[in-house]
Amino acid sequence: MASRTVSWLLARSISSSGPRSALLSRGKKLGLVSRGGIHRYNSTAAAAEEPITPPVTVPHTQLLINGKFVDAASGRTFQTLDPRTGELIANVAEGDAEDVNRAVAAARKAFDEGPWPRLPAFERQKILLKCADLVDKHNDEIAALETWDNGKPYEQAAKVEVPMFARLFRYYAGWADKIHGLTVPADGPYHVQTLHEPIGVAGQIIPWNFPLLMFAWKVGPALATGNTIVLKTAEQTPLSALYVARLFHEAGLPEGVLNIISGFGPTAGAALASHMDVDKLAFTGSTETGKIVLELGAKSNLKPVTLELGGKSPFIVCEDADVDQAVELAHFALFFNQGQCCCAGSRTFVHEKVYDEFVEKAKVRASRRSVGDPFKAGIEQGPQVDSEQFEKILKYIRSGVECGATLETGGERFGSKGYYVQPTVFSNVKDDMLIAKDEIFGPVQSILKFKDLNEVIKRSNATRYGLAAGVFTQNIDTANTLIRALRVGTVWVNTFDIFDAAIPFGGYKMSGHGREKGIYSLSNYLQVKAVVTPLKNPAWL
Amino acid sequence: MATNHSNGSSDDATSLVEIPPPKIRFTKLFIGGDFVDSVSGRTFETIDPRTGETIAKVSEGDKEDIDLAVGAARRAFDHGPWPRLPGAARAKIMHKFADLIDQHIEELATLDSLNAGKLFAWGKAADIPSVANTLRYYAGAADKIHGEVLKMSRELHAYTLREPVGVVGHIIPWNFPSTMFFMKVSPALAAGCTMVVKPAEQTPLSALFYAHLAKEAGVPDGVINVVNGFGPTAGAALASHMDVDKVSFTGSTEVGRKVMQAAATSNLKPVSLELGGKSPLLIFDDADVDKAADLALLGILYNKGEVCVASSRVFVQEGIYDEFVKTLAVKAKDWVVGDPFNPKSRLGPQVDKNQYEKILAYIEHGKREGATLLTGGKPASKKGYYIQPTVFTDVTEDMKIVKDEIFGPVMALMKFTTMEEGIKAANNTRYGLAAGIVTKSLDTANTVARSIRAGVIWINCYFAFDNDCPYGGYKSSGFERDLGLEALHKYLQVKSVVTPLYNSPWH
């Protein structure tokens, strides 16, 4: 059933719409949402149906430390919930500082004494290829687990995300034996080389919006370069990482190389970020939490930190754009993955000449979006990940209405159970409205009008974020001007959410530090050692 | 029981090891995805060098067959899927190809041993598994071909595209039929090229098997074509073909010159050449004599000296020279000459009668020129093309055995006094393929490494080949590199794309 071919993912030229190699990231804990607001909820037949029973059982709920599944030191567990219903999926071991200590010790030992960094790179490559093969083999189970825990459409998980996960590991496998230092010119008779060495124990904290892909973005380059890892998953989505990590051990990953801690940010996450024996930290999540992580890195052992944080990415539709295509892509850019993408095109700037047509069509497209049980075929949008996100999004929608933006469609809860939100479109959005400034992380499209290029550049850049941008134009000069003028880490021109393994991703400004994926991601996990020795009577310099 | 060469005429180890009659599955040309007879219908005999007897008759490709193969490769490049696939999709097929090789290791090792006299045990343990790994290495490179975005001095946006060069002609030698096939084919596949391979006429069999496996793995028809035949006919037709975009050749310096000429007089196709060598091994006074002697013997006797990077000139510093000579003479006896299917053998037969006679003639010449035979110097059997491991001492730099590439198990052993003298002697050759240094001194190693004009320097090791490690020649040993990411660039064109830029906030 699930197409697992990478070529399918890459056949982007065939169609200009629909989720292709899409994804994005984010783990958040924004505390600004008040509880208990009263909303007018619509009840619909679709959501009233009994949820489909997920075609998978939960294989692992314990922590994975030193190659073994173990309970938390405290014995505590937490509940991971089904976002379709808010009901319990499983009780999961809750890692805290003591578990992080154990995991770091295991990773330390695996790095300092174990075989992993000492294996010929070629052998590491082979194990990573085997990991990818095993994930392919269990594609549908892994996808089902991901959907159950996260709420994303099963077809998206099974046909795009799990195959992309395997693809990413194959990509990084290929890097393992091609990590080159340099021989460096010297000003005098010296022989100079750089060695690119693994940095050591990497702490990685990943979000809940793309649990598997964020795992791959972090773990892939760290393993290819010979590091050992303690990975903390998001408390909303602990399940898929435990499963694939077990498969990795079956593929031959030595014990202690990849340790998985389920748990919460303020406890397990903070312990990892401030650990004195962790050599590197990589975090994907909210800008607020990213600040805390960076601070903990600074206060503890000055570990270098890679951050991939929030965004409020502009999607710019110029006057010469093909409006139908632009509507479809703008819709995809925002609504994909329930709007839970850090690079979501959440500020849709449309040129005044095509604005009215665009708004009308965007409204129609959003109102046709199929929302429902993510296990059901043909569903485009499942529930938001949890009640906190759900409430937060509804609060932002209220704020939009209160500020005077025009609610074109949606605006309310979808159904009566679980965390479904109607696809929502606002027009007449002004730059100073909260919905145009804050990252909503939900299915809420804000459409803004612009007149000329310089104006839209200025307004696009008037944000603390700088993760991504979409540009829709047929004019090469307009495209080239926008590409360079936008202060963001990724510009998609006449496309959006293309996330190939080789394309680097990361933020300007408060959207983060460093880049993931591609050749750039390797440097996050490598130390550079310069080696200098005098040369006697060199034949040349 | 195996005997060693120095016992003279006894040839127990060279007596034929009976193996189950190999099934030769592929003897035709492989063009456009099908095995076909040659246009002329002609065949040639391929010989078992253990006996000089015929293994099989193989279709003999000539100009017309090359035309057909180039046509198939051209169509596959211009209209077929291969260059249009994402690198990751090419990688997937290449990984499958590698897996299929792993499933046929014994059969492939047998073909190379039968056809080239190569040791079966080494083929099985090293040569064949490592070609699968070469494919995997380049599979991993197929999705990592980066161009660059450039820094222009004016308001311009510019970038480079690295595009597949097109139809590649590969002409490969007989000494490592499998290794050479994949050293050429793998990076070209990764780059998205299509190709015509002409294997050596001595060793046509494994290449055809690989063509079959490529098809099974999903390499589209026309991407890999194999035309067996001779240099002056099939090889020349390929090198001078107007529709071939690149020729990659490994072989002798003499033939390399012809290949380059053919390219120059036809369509000016770029050529990469990996040619002959007369590689020096410099052993310094501070070396561990035992280890140095092992390396020196390995350097010249591995694959019966049929190695372009063989350490055929060994220079030993005078302080340890006498001890080295003694040690070498003793250790040379461990290099048992025998049937390549006998697990005790360390040298099989030379590839064919031609090579065998050429090597023996060089040995005779050395003797006439006044060099002293330390060991060997004779045929090692009555039947087949076996030669004793041979070491000459009292050699001077002007002797033919020091200047020419013998391509057999014949070492010229010389003495040197100072490092400067050693470097000068080592560079006193028209070749520049490889060199070895044996020393404990960091300064000696670094100075000599930069001073020798050769494409690969092995310090306290020899034949340390690796997929990621480029190698190729200086001087008349050729140009451009095989292996590593360097080799990928042989099969890529660089295209610069430039367009004006308006209102850019930075330059």
pLDDT digit string, tens, across residues B281-322: 999 999 999 999 999 999 999 999 999 999 999 999 999 999
ipTM above 0.90, yes or no: no
As a whole number of angstroms, the distance between CA A6 and CA A163 comes to 7
**Residue-wise DSSP of B71-98:** HHHHHHHHTSSGGGS-HHHHHHHHHHHH
Residue A411 CA to its chain's centroid (Å): 26
Residue B18: predicted pLDDT: 86
How far is it between the farthest Cα atoms of chain A? 85
As a whole number of angstroms, the distance between CA A150 and CA A162 comes to 14
Residues on chain A touching B141 (C-beta within 8 angstroms): 174, 178
Smallest CA–CA separation between B6 and chain A, in Å? 40
Q: A122 and B144 in contact by Cβ < 8 A?
A: no
Is B200's pLDDT higher than 70? Answer: yes
As a whole number of angstroms, the distance between CA B491 and CA B165 comes to 5
Structure tokens of A12?
């982007």
Residues on chain A touching B143 (C-beta within 8 angstroms): 171, 174, 501-502
Residue A433: predicted pLDDT: 98
Residue B9: predicted pLDDT: 41
Residue with tokens 């665009």: A358
> Which stretches of A310-454 are assigned E, i.e. beta strand?
314-317, 347-351, 406-409, 424-427, 444-450
Residues 6+ apart with CB under 8 A from A325: A16, A17, A472, A494
Nearest to B450 among A171, A175, A539 (CB): A539
Nearest to A178 among B86, B89, B485 (CB): B485
Nearest to A177 among B140, B451, B499 (CB): B140
**Is B459 at the interface with chain A, CB within 8 A?**
no
Residues 6+ apart with CB under 8 A from A62: A69, A70, A71, A93, A242
Residue with tokens 């999903």: B218
Report the residue of A122, A130, A169 to disrupt the B interface, i.e. the one with the largest count of B CBs within 10 Å: A122
Is B217's pLDDT higher than 90? Answer: yes
Structure tokens of A306?
């890679």
Residue A12: predicted pLDDT: 34
**Is B437 at the interface with chain A, CB within 8 A?**
no
Helices vs strands, H then E, count in chain B = 16, 19
Interface of B with A in 326-345 (CB under 8 A): none
pLDDT digits 0-9 by tens, B441-479 = 999 999 999 999 999 999 999 999 999 999 999 999 999
Q: A480 and B499 in contact by Cβ < 8 A?
A: yes
Nearest to A167 among B88, B468, B504 (CB): B88
Smallest CA–CA separation between A540 and chain B, in Å? 7
As a whole number of angstroms, the distance between CA A16 and CA A79 comes to 40
Smallest CA–CA separation between B68 and chain A, in Å? 31
Structure tokens of B360?
């023996």
Structure tokens of A369?
């979006």
Count of CB atoms situated within 10 Å of the CB of A56 = 18
pLDDT digits 0-9 by tens, A261-295 = 999 999 999 999 999 999 999 999 999 999 999 99
Q: A484 and B504 in contact by Cβ < 8 A?
A: yes
Residue B51: predicted pLDDT: 92
What pLDDT band is residue B483 in, cutting at 50, 70 and 90?
very high
Residue A140: predicted pLDDT: 98
Count of CB atoms situated within 10 Å of the CB of A405 = 23
As a whole number of angstroms, the distance between CA A114 and CA A123 comes to 14
Residue B13: predicted pLDDT: 80
Q: List chain A residues with pLDDT less than 50.
A: 1-47
Q: Which one is catalytic: A308, A319, A391, A516?
A: A308
As a whole number of angstroms, the distance between CA A404 and CA A385 comes to 28
Q: B505 and A485 in contact by Cβ < 8 A?
A: yes
Task: List the one residue out of B244, B190, B201 whose CA is nearest residue B29.
Answer: B201
The identity of residue A242, as a single letter, is: L
Phi, psi of A80 (to 5 degrees): -105, 130
**Cα dihedral B300/B304/B308/B309 (nearest 10):** -30
pLDDT digits 0-9 by tens, B51-63 = 999 999 999 999 9
Residue B2: predicted pLDDT: 40
For residue A509, what is the DSSP state? G
As a whole number of angstroms, the distance between CA B208 and CA B224 comes to 10
Side by side, which strands form the sheet with B434-438?
Answer: B372-375, B390-393, B410-416, B313-317, B280-283, B434-438, B456-459
As a whole number of angstroms, the distance between CA A279 and CA A290 comes to 17
Structure tokens of B88?
């990751």
SS3 A183: strand
**Is B418 at the interface with chain A, CB within 8 A?**
no
As a whole number of angstroms, the distance between CA B255 and CA B250 comes to 9
Structure tokens of A180?
């080159």
Residue A57 vs residues A83, A131, A501, B118, B208: alpha-carbon distances, Å: 17, 21, 30, 55, 49
Q: B89 and A170 in contact by Cβ < 8 A?
A: no
Phi, psi of B389 (to 5 degrees): -60, 130
Q: A536 and B143 in contact by Cβ < 8 A?
A: no
